[in-house]
Amino acid sequence: MKYEVLHLLKENSETFLSGQLISEKLGVSRTSIWKYIKSLKEEGYMIDSSSKKGYRLIVSPDALTFEEIKKYLNTKYIGKKIIHFESINSTNDKAKELAEQGADDGTIIISEEQVGGKGRLGRLWCSPKYKGIWLSIILRPNINPMKAPEITQIAAAAMIESLKEFDINAKVKWPNDIIIEGKKVCGILTEMSGELNRVNYVIVGIGINANLDKGDFSKDLLDKATSLKIEINSNVDRKALVGTLLNKFEYLYKEFQEKGKIGFSIKICKDNSAVIGKNIKIIKNTDESYAKALDLDEGGGLIVQYEDGSVEKLISGEVSIRGLNKYI
């Protein structure tokens, strides 16, 4: 009911709505309305209240709640449920917990801050409060578990396409980084629970450095990480970016669900690749080798050619790559 009150206020933000009118429209007492307004104010909504005129919404908070994101969404099921936290350990871990409890396909976990944000292989992901977009998507695809890593390429493609809508050109550093001018602005962590030939669920974690300032990064991250704000010199609308990302993701994911293919996503990742055609260093556990990145195959594997001429397909999840001089 609280959000029905909010909805009315949003629809009528030009004028005051009297408590009487809201109470008649929603069929609840004026005391309850007063309580809902108080609770909305606690959530960060700035609401002008006047005993004579009633209530008027002045400013909505910059919060990544379903209420704030829904106007940007045109998806069928991704993001129809958004579970929002002020602070959490890791949205991927929370998503796993909820997926185990039966959360629906397409449920989103989003947090304003992560205190234990994760990268791949147990690495840490810096996730300061209100500055970025830290979210996880719960998916329940009917696929062979071997194909789960392909979802990382779908997320990367959705990210590239979304940033284009904000006039930002970024590139994919295979397999899971989005970079601008050689620095990482977004990372993707896809995790799966399954059996030999069946997937229980997949969690796609996406971390976007939206409005971080240089001071939000630790010293060792500064030369390899950046934010959208740093690159374009202005804040990005986090709510609109989440909505756009989920719309693009659902569209690209549909091909995977219906045909088991990711052709559209691969094309986007190839056209915007930071590595294809470049000489790279390949890091597998502690081994390092040098090769030239040639192409992406239809499953999102990176085809590389070593100095001795031999060609190999790298599967995401196993390896990291670097440019020869800097991060890429």
Q: Which residues are annotated as a binding site for biotin?
A: 90-92, 114, 184
| Cα 222 versus chain centre, distance | 21
Q: Quick check: 319 binds ligand BT5 (CB under 6 A)? A: no
Give the nearer residue to ligand BT5 in terms of CB position, either 22 or 245: 245
Quick note: the x/- pattern for ligand BT5 over 221-240, rule CB under 6 A, is x---x---------------
Helices (H), ranges, 30-147:
30-42, 66-69, 91-100
The least CB distance from residue 314 to ligand BT5, in Å, is: 14
Among the listed residues 119, 182, 194, 317, the single contact to ligand BT5 using CB under 6 A: 119
Please give the structure tokens belonging to residue 287. 């081994």
Q: Quick check: 201 binds ligand BT5 (CB under 6 A)? A: no
The least CB distance from residue 208 to ligand BT5, in Å, is: 8
Give the DSSP H or E segment for 313. strand 311-314
Give the nearer residue to ligand BT5 in terms of CB position, either 76 or 123: 123
User: What's the CA gap between 92 and 206, in Å, rounded?
Assistant: 9
Which residues participate in the annotated binding site? 90-92, 114, 184
Quick note: the x/- pattern for ligand BT5 over 79-108, rule CB under 6 A, is -----------xxx----------------
Chain residues 133-152 in contact with ligand BT5, contact rule CB under 6 A: 134-136
User: What's the CA gap between 63 and 86, in Å, rounded?
Assistant: 9
Give the nearer residue to ligand BT5 in terms of CB position, either 60 or 272: 272
Q: Quick check: 211 binds ligand BT5 (CB under 6 A)? A: no
User: What's the CA gap between 131 and 94, in Å, rounded?
Assistant: 20
**Which of these ranges, 1-9, 22-30, 184-192, 256-264, lies near ligand BT5 under the rule CB under 6 A?**
184-192
166 in Cβ contact with 248 (< 8 Å)? no
Determine if residue 122 is left, alpha or beta; phi over 0 gives left, psi from -120 to 50 gives alpha, anything else beta.
Answer: left
Q: Which residues of 268-305 are buried (b: 16+ CB within 10 A; e: fewer)?
A: bbeebbbbbeeebebeeeeeeeebbbebbeebbbbbbe
Q: Which residues would be at the binding site for ligand BT5 (CB under 6 A)?
A: 90-92, 114, 117-121, 123-127, 134-136, 176-177, 184, 187-189, 205-207, 209, 221, 225
